[in-house]
Amino acid sequence: MYGNVKTAELVSLRIDGTEISVPSNTSVIEAAEAVGVLVPRYCYHPGIPSRPAQCRVCLVEIEGQPKLQPSCNISVQEGMVVHTASEEARSARRSVIELLLVNHPLDCPICDAAGQCMLQDYAFETRQLASRLNEEKLVMGRDRIAEDILYFADRCIICTRCVRFMREVAEDDALIVAQRGYRAYIDTFPGAVLDNPFRGNIVDVCPVGALVHEDFLFKARFWDLDQTASVCPSCSTGCNVTIDTVENQIVRLKPRHNSEVNSYWMCDHGRKHLIMSNRGLRPEAPLLRRDGKLVPTGWGEALTWVAERLREVSRGMAIVSPHAANESLFYFRTLLDRIGIAGGTFRVEQGEEAILPGFPKLQLRADRAPNASGAELHGFERFDGGAHSDPGGDAVAVLEDPLGELPDEWGREASFFLYVGNRLSPAARNAHAILPVTTFAEMEGTFTNFEGRVQRFHQALQPAGLARPAWLVLARLVSLLEDGGDGGVAAPTLASEAFQVMVRATPAMADLEWASVGLKGARLGSTEAAVPHAQAPAEGA
Amino acid sequence: MSRRIHPSVAGAQPFQLAERDPEAPLFESAEGQERLQAVLSRYPTKQAALLPLLGYANELHGWVSKQDMESIAERLDLTPAYVWSVASFYTMYNKHPIGRHFIQVCTNISCHLNGAQRVLKRFLEETGTRPGETSEDGRYTVIEAECLGACGFATAVQINDEYHENVTPERVSQILAGLDGNGS
């Protein structure tokens, strides 16, 4: 009757006067999106498989059918003529919104979701600006659904997206609808809280302000957020995210859709970790050791001094961080080659793994760093034999590893100790020169995820003090070493230029383009060859 | 307190009527196991056996406790949350302990017209409770019920499994005394 769904042949239909051909297994709501018509929706979510058609707000008129149809669970048919905004459809939608607003507290001025609330939007769109209800509103109160998630029952419209996310995507049937009818609310088992590692997504799928993160509660209004496309740095999956900032502070991370990486989801570790980890003492100006003390100085003087000292270095060791961007790792490798240090190691913090069953590609992976693959690609070796050994009397150059848990006297005997990083740990303070660089959130660049997918992130924050992207600092050092800094060798000044230099010099990346990496990333051509130990830690040290 | 099955329904109720005993184990007894197997044998899936087992807990304990929901969930391979979802959907599973005499006063239209509100008021006064509350001695819980299907004999009152018909406020004391005289 509906044709063979597997072969998904094309069918033509007309939506609001626009002719379109789509595969026969497309729903009307999806087909409408393809012609640029966004039919209102609450219970429908593209990432949640079930289509209960229970919110009734996506009703559309289909010619030849006696009643309005829910566009989310009706498949397209040849010759269908759909009107999403006919008088009948609009009036039905208006009634749905009016009923949803019967017990709604209209507390938009103090609601976290105001500004990105689908109830607010559609109420305004359907001109439901006054209530015809004279009775008292039902007051339900609020509940703690999880350690970090609050549920405002009065705002809830029982679309059950959260319940179905937990049931169908997280496959953890711990969230349910309790009671029924106008008394229905979302609940866990009495006394239990939601502890699934992907529970934060229920806040994202909530079309209204019923489920909110306590971390974000009353922190900011949606309109005041600056939103930046980025990549989650908390494990090697590299979920695409949006970083929301207010006044140069990260207030939350939201997943950004990428069907190849994380679909619409991300894990709770990722949501929290960046905000928590972006603390600690930062170097804000270049620091040079003079008469045994670290003295702040300007960039020009610092780079000239470091370049001079590097000329004298011939042997030593290198340590990098898997949190550094591809471009930074590339220029660090170039610098090391120039001064004659081979190899180099990095350590990857390990953590517990978690899989999202409904989208198994999305995992919280054991490697708690975004760019271990990138570090391997640029010739650095994974090292998990405990702490980094002391360089003794050799030279040592460090890129972005915080040297956190090393003894205070680590590196004190080194002939030359260069620290290019963004944390001032006791060991880092033994450096002869500390060049302050940005965190990934303060710069533009790329990471390579566990399967060799190169993904771009954008600058979300202003750098701390004089900190600059590591690739910029390192490229400048390289050019000073090559020509004394008289301008003969141009150092890149844009991330895109640094990327191009890297791609030309790195065979495994040869087929990448800055523009085509875009917002969704691109896989390296020969992933297997390029990233031999993408996931499994190398044995020994 | 033994219960009587009306002959007209006896044949249709192969696994019903547990003695109410709030302290009895739900499944850790011969009767409990027998009941569980009898119910499971009648349904195509374990999930489908949820309602009768909630009903069993309600009959046995007078209400469905958290522990009851957890042990039912375990037996049926469901999450406790799902069991709670279903139990809370239906108003006739009690979610709180009830008194030994569970008094349901019908206040739907026929009974209402015949003075059900006065009957209800009298029951509450005599037992010293508010609707849904259990008296301090654990004897009585009085609630307002939807239609008991005895419109020809309004006001209808159901006490545990017994019907009392044509109840007037004047008869309330006598009915309550009869309950106590019943030895319970």
Give yes or no for A503 touching B (CB within 8 A): no
> In chain B, how long is the greatest CA-to-CA distance?
51
The partner residue sitting opposite A179, judged by closest CB among B78, B82, B89, is B89
Q: How far apart are CA A188 and CA A364, in angstroms?
A: 24
Give yes or no for A182 touching B (CB within 8 A): no
The three-class DSSP label of residue A203 is helix
Give yes or no for A193 touching B (CB within 8 A): no
Measured between beta carbons, which residues in chain A are less than 8 angstroms from residue B77? none
Which of A140, A176, A194 is the mutation pick for testing B, counting most B CBs within 10 A? A176
> Distance from CA of residue A243 to its chain's centroid?
7
The partner residue sitting opposite B81, judged by closest CB among A179, A180, A188, is A188
In the 3-class helix/strand/coil scheme, how is A164-187 assigned residue by residue? HHHHHHCCCCCCEEECCHHHCEEE
For residue A344 the two structure tokens come to: 């180099």
The three-class DSSP label of residue A33 is helix
Reported as half-sphere exposure (CB side, CA atoms, 13 A), residue B17 has a value of: 13
Is B84 in Cβ contact with A174 (below 8 Å)?
A: no
How far does B69 lie from chain A, in Å, by closest CA?
A: 9
The partner residue sitting opposite A178, judged by closest CB among B70, B80, B84, is B84
Supply the pLDDT for residue B103: 96
Closest to A183 measured CA to CA, from A152, A144, A154: A154
Sorted by sequence, the CB contacts under 8 Å of residue A354 that are 6+ apart come out as: A197, A198, A267, A269, A363, A364
Is A192 in Cβ contact with B80 (below 8 Å)?
A: yes
Pair A452, A532: CB distance under 8 Å: no
Measured between beta carbons, which residues in chain A are less than 8 angstroms from residue B78? 173
Sorted by sequence, the CB contacts under 8 Å of residue A15 that are 6+ apart come out as: A28, A31, A32, A35, A37, A82, A84
Bridge partners of residue A355, in order along the sequence:
A363
The DSSP annotation for chain B comes to ------HHHHTT-TT--PPP-TTS-SSSSHHHHHHHHHHHTTSSSTGGGHHHHHHHHHHHHSS--HHHHHHHHHHTT--HHHHHHHHHH-TTS-SS---SEEEEEE-SHHHHHTTHHHHHHHHHHHHT--TTPBPTTS-EEEEEES--S-GGGPSPEEETTEEE-S--GGGHHHHHHHHHHTT-
> In chain A, how long is the greatest CA-to-CA distance?
89
Backbone angles phi, psi at A490, to 5 degrees: -75, 130
Q: How far apart are CA A319 and CA A401, in angstroms?
A: 7
How far does B126 lie from chain A, in Å, by closest CA?
A: 31
Global ipTM: 0.83
Q: How far apart are CA B63 and CA A366, in angstroms?
A: 46
Domains of chain A: 10-98 (3.10.20.740), 133-224 (3.30.70.20), 287-530 (3.40.50.740)
Angle at A221 between CA A216 and CA A223, to 5 degrees: 130
Least confident of A146-150, A442-446, B3-7, B72-76: B3-7
- Which H helix or E strand runs over A192? none
A353-367, A483-497, B9-23, B29-43, range with greatest mean pLDDT: A353-367
Give yes or no for A190 touching B (CB within 8 A): yes
Tens of pLDDT along chain A (541 residues) come to: 344 445 568 999 999 999 999 999 999 999 999 999 999 999 999 999 999 999 999 999 999 999 999 999 999 999 999 999 999 999 999 999 999 999 999 999 999 999 999 999 999 988 877 888 889 999 999 999 999 999 999 999 999 999 999 999 999 999 999 999 999 999 999 999 999 999 999 999 999 999 999 999 999 999 999 999 999 999 999 999 999 999 999 999 999 999 999 999 999 999 998 877 767 789 999 999 999 999 999 999 999 999 999 999 888 999 999 999 999 999 999 999 999 999 999 999 999 999 999 999 999 999 999 999 999 999 999 988 788 888 888 999 999 998 988 999 999 999 999 999 999 999 999 999 999 999 999 999 999 999 999 999 999 999 999 999 999 999 999 999 987 656 556 789 999 999 999 999 999 999 899 998 999 999 997 443 334 333 333 333 3
Measured between beta carbons, which residues in chain B are less than 8 angstroms from residue A187? 81, 84-85, 88
How far does A114 lie from chain B, in Å, by closest CA?
A: 30
Measured between beta carbons, which residues in chain B are less than 8 angstroms from residue A180? 88-89
Q: How far apart are CA B101 and CA B126, in angstroms?
A: 13
- Nearest chain A residue to B69 by CA distance is A189
From edge to edge, which strands make up the β-sheet containing A249-255?
A226-231, A240-246, A249-255
How far does B86 lie from chain A, in Å, by closest CA?
A: 7
Backbone angles phi, psi at B9, to 5 degrees: -110, -10
**Count of all residues that appear for chain B in the document:** 184
- Nearest chain A residue to B80 by CA distance is A189
- Nearest chain A residue to B90 by CA distance is A179
Q: How far apart are CA B176 and CA B156, in angstroms?
A: 15
- Which H helix or E strand runs over A526? none
Backbone angles phi, psi at A456, to 5 degrees: -90, 145
Is B89 in Cβ contact with A180 (below 8 Å)?
A: yes
Is A189 in Cβ contact with B81 (below 8 Å)?
A: yes
Which residue ranges make up each domain of chain B? 18-89, 101-181
Measured between beta carbons, which residues in chain B are less than 8 angstroms from residue A182? none
How far does A181 lie from chain B, in Å, by closest CA?
A: 9
Which of B47, B65, B85, B146 is the mutation pick for testing A, counting most A CBs within 10 A? B85
Residue with tokens 């000239």, as numbered in its chain: A304
Is A189 in Cβ contact with B79 (below 8 Å)?
A: yes
Bridge partners of residue B163, in order along the sequence:
B158
Pick the more confident residue, A310 or B180: A310
For residue B140 the two structure tokens come to: 């009585």
Q: Which amino acid is at A436?
A: P
Chain B residue set in contact with A, beta carbons under 8 Å:
66, 69-70, 78-85, 88-89
Is A177 in Cβ contact with B69 (below 8 Å)?
A: no
- Which H helix or E strand runs over A252? strand A249-255
How far does B95 lie from chain A, in Å, by closest CA?
A: 11
The three-class DSSP label of residue A505 is helix
- Nearest chain B residue to A193 by CA distance is B81
- The A residues from 273 to 292 touching B (CB cutoff 8 Å) are none
Fold of B101-181: Glutaredoxin (3.40.30)
- Which H helix or E strand runs over A304? helix A299-311
Closest to A234 measured CA to CA, from A112, A363, A107: A363
Pair A308, A364: CB distance under 8 Å: no
Fold of B18-89: Arc Repressor Mutant, subunit A (1.10.10)
Pair A37, A27: CB distance under 8 Å: no
Measured between beta carbons, which residues in chain B are less than 8 angstroms from residue A174? 79, 81
Residue with tokens 């710069």, as numbered in its chain: A443
Judge if the upstream peptide bond of residue A160 is cis by omega within 30 degrees of 0: no
Residue with tokens 């490798």, as numbered in its chain: A333
